[in-house]
Amino acid sequence: MPENPIRKTVTTLADGRELIYFDDADTALGTERAADGRMLDPRPETATMRQDVLTGEWISIAAARQNRAFLPPADQDPLAPATPSNPSEIPGMYDVAVFENRSPSFGPETGAADTAGVGIGRTAPSYGRCEVVCFSPEHEGSFGTQSRSRARTVIEAWADRTEALSALPGVRQVFPFENRGEEIGVTLRHPHGQIYSYPYVTPRTQRLLASIDEVGPDLFDRVLESEQASERVLLQGEHWTAFVPFAARWPIEVHMLPHRQVPDFAATSDAERDELSSLYLSLLRGIDAIYDTPTPYIAAWHQAPVDTHRDSVRLNLQLTSPRRAADRLKYLAGSEAAMGAWIGDVPPEKSAELIRDGIAKATA
C-alpha cells in the first residue's frame, strides 16, 4: 500500500443521488465535506427502451436529457465546486468526484429488464445507472491535461465504480468513457467523463462475442501478438501496449490492451493501474500534439459483460477521432452511416506514424 493512499468518501446530494469523492494520494484536501444545501426537484422517472425489430437493438427514449446544460459560462459550471452564485452538483472542493447523473439515459431504477428475443412494438424499462466522473475542479481540460497523480486517481475511481455498478441488480455491462471536444458533441468544457451501466449487452460487444465464439477464446492474445509485431505500435510498457489497429476505421484510432487477460478495471492490479496512468497520459498528450489545437475524440473503455465471456473478453481502450487534417473532420457518409460499411481515409500505418510523431513532440 502507498504511504498516502487514494481516499474514498461516500455521501449524497440533496435529491438522494450518490456522490463519491476520490482524493489523490498526494492530496492537499482535508476529510471534511460540505453538505448539498440545494432544494432540488424530484428525480426524473426511469425512461423506456424501445426495440428496433429490424436489428434487435434497444433504444432508450430519455427525454429528460433535453434539459441538460449546454456550454455554460465558467461561472455557471455545474461540475465546479459550488459557490453562493453557482449552486453546482458538487458542494465543495474536490480532486475527483463521481455522482449519479441528474438526467440519466439509464436509471435511476435498477432491475432485470426482459431484453431477450426480437419482436414488433417491444418495450422495456431503461434500468441501469449513469454516473459523471469529474477529473478535476478546473473549468476546462481533459484527462490528458491532468497530473500523473490525478490520472491514477481517476483510474482508481473507474475500477471502484466498475465493481460497484457491476453488482447492481440487472446491470449487464459497465462502460467508462470520455467525450472530448465540441466537434464530438460535448456540452460541458469541464474535464470529465461518464460511466454507463446497461441492462443489456451492447451491440458492439455482441459482435465481439460472436467473433470470439468463431475465432476462439484466445482472440485477444492473438490480436495482441499480431499488433505488437506490426509497425503500428505507439507505446509499449510492461503491462500495456497501445497501437493503431490493423483495420482502423477513423483517421485517428488507437487501441490499448493489457498484456494479460483482465475482464475490466476492477480486475487490474496496482502495477497495471500505475503504468496505465503514465502511458495513457503520454498517448493523449501525443494525440493533442499532432496539430496546433486540441484533437476531439471519444475514449471508450470496453469491458467484459458482467455475466458472460469473462475469461475471453479483455478490457481495452478504443479511442477514435474524426480529425483527418488540421482543418478537416471526417463525417460519416451514406455507406458508413446507413450501411455500416466503412471506408478508411488514412492508411493505419500512416496514422501510426503521425501519432508517434505527436508523442515524440509531446515528450520532447
Task: Give start-end residues of each CATH 3.30.428.10 domain in the chain.
Answer: 7-198, 205-363
The size of the chain, in residues, is: 364
- Say which DSSP state 295 is in: P
Q: What is the average pLDDT score of the chain?
A: 95
pTM of the model: 0.96
Residue 192 annotated to the active site: yes
Q: Which of 190, 192, 239, 255 is catalytic?
A: 192
Rounded to 10 degrees, the C-alpha dihedral 321/232/335/337 comes to -30
- Identify the residue whose cell numbers are 479483455: 314
Report the DSSP pairing between strands 192-198 and 129-134.
antiparallel
Place of cell 460511466: 195
CATH number 3.30.230.10 given to 7-198: no
Tens digit of each residue's pLDDT (9 = 90 or more) over 57-77: 999 999 877 666 677 888 899
Q: What are phi and psi of 12, to 5 degrees?
A: -135, 155
**Residue 274: helix, strand or coil by DSSP?**
helix
User: Candidates 3.10.290.10, 3.10.105.10, 3.30.420.40, 3.30.428.10; correct CATH number of 205-363?
Assistant: 3.30.428.10
pLDDT of 2: 47
Rounded alpha-carbon distances, angstroms, from residue 361 to 93, 145, 173, 274, 321: 34, 16, 37, 23, 19
Reported as a single tens digit per residue, the pLDDT across 325-342 is 999 999 999 999 999 999
Q: Is the pLDDT score of 3 beyond 90?
A: no
State the pLDDT at residue 4. Answer: 57
Supply the DSSP string of 51-110, one letter for each residue.
E-TTT--EEEE-GGGGGS--S--GGG-TTSBPBTTB--SB-S--SEEEEE-SS-SS-SS-
Confidence band for 1, pLDDT divided at 50, 70 and 90:
very low
Mean pLDDT of all residues in 303-327:
97
**Residues 216-251 pLDDT 10s:** 999 999 999 999 999 999 999 999 999 999 999 999
The region of weakest confidence among 22-36, 64-78, 118-132 is 64-78
